[in-house]
Amino acid sequence: MALTDPTNIGTQNYSTKLEKGQGRCTFLDAVRLRGESFENIDRQQLGIVRARADTIDNHILTTLFAGADNAVDTGGGTAVFGGSAADEEGIILEAMDDIFANAKVSGNEPLALVLPADKRSAILNTTLYGNVVESLGDHLRRIANLSIYYTRDYGDGSGSDTSAIKDEGLMLVPGAETAEFFTYNGSGFQETELTRIPGVGYDWLLTGYMGSVIHEHQDGAAANKTHRIVEIQNVRA
């Protein structure tokens, strides 16, 4: 009777850290004396909440972008998405093949595609597939179970570009097996604080702690990267 050796089927050990984010505004008594409504004050608070949401989106996309172990390339020039020589469907299918060929997946997982928002028209442009006129996005949803998301957090890919996905796109298997985002809302801190400033007004402070991690599968990917995420390079000029 033989006993088999342990098999690596899970993920590597990892550690993560939580980053702190804060937003703050002051509502002066003088503003209330001028007849400012609480509805307008609420909109100022909502602006901070939205700003934090944008920061979280940037954090997640930046982490996913850094976690891609492989890439496919449009070739740039007129081959960028929406260009005269573009083959958006072929490049997207090539990215899918890269994931299913290299990652530890069954081959039936749904996929997600993240693109710069200015390439939405290239995906919505209609054409004839078989005997059906539909957009590329609808076509890919139908044949490949692909969800498509757009972000305005893109740039030109230059050395000074600090955007989340630069001039590229991301193809990935969504879910906790690929990456996880953490927020902390337990004991030890107060998320929202409204403090009276004597003779001045009210100070409103929003605090949050967040972090994320790319899961390292035993699939040959480099440290802190995964084959479940693929970059699509040179999506835009």
- For residue 7, name the pLDDT band (cuts at 50, 70, 90): low
Q: Which sign, positive or negative, has the C-alpha torsion 190, 193, 196, 200?
A: positive
Instruction: Compare 31 and 12 and report the one with higher pLDDT.
Output: 31
pTM: 0.86
- For residue 1, name the pLDDT band (cuts at 50, 70, 90): low
Count of beta carbons in the 10 Å neighbourhood of residue 139? 19
Report the distance separating Cα 22 and Cα 68, nearest Å: 29
Q: What is the pLDDT of residue 220?
A: 84
Domain architecture of the chain: domains with CATH: 19-44+52-233 (3.90.1690.10)
Nearest-Å Rg of the Cα atoms of the chain is 23
Q: How many CA atoms lie within 13 A of 128 on its CB side?
A: 2
High-pLDDT (> 90) share of the chain, %: 56
- For residue 90, name the pLDDT band (cuts at 50, 70, 90): very high
Structure confidence by residue, pLDDT tens digits, 62-86: 999 999 999 999 999 999 999 999 9
Q: Which sign, positive or negative, has the C-alpha torsion 158, 163, 164, 169?
A: negative
Structure confidence by residue, pLDDT tens digits, 191-235: 889 999 999 988 989 998 999 999 888 788 888 899 999 999 999
SS3 string of the chain? Answer: CCCCCCCCCCECCCCCCCEEEEEEEEEEHHHHHCCCCHHHHHHHHHHHHHHHHHHHHHHHHHHHHHCEEEEEECCCHHHCCCCCCCCHHHHHHHHHHHHHHHCCCCCCCCEEEEEEHHHHHHHHCEEEECCEEEEHHHHHHHHHCEEEEEECCCCCCCCCCCCCCCCCEEEECCCCCCEEEEEECCCCCCCEEEEEECCCEEEEEEEEEEEEEECCECCCCCCCCEEEEEEEECCCC
Instruction: Compare 161 and 32 and report the one with higher pLDDT.
Output: 161
Average pLDDT over residues 39-46: 79
Report the distance separating Cα 125 and Cα 115, nearest Å: 15
Q: What is the pLDDT of residue 30?
A: 84
Q: What is the pLDDT of residue 16?
A: 78
Report the distance separating Cα 139 and Cα 130, nearest Å: 10
- For residue 149, name the pLDDT band (cuts at 50, 70, 90): very high
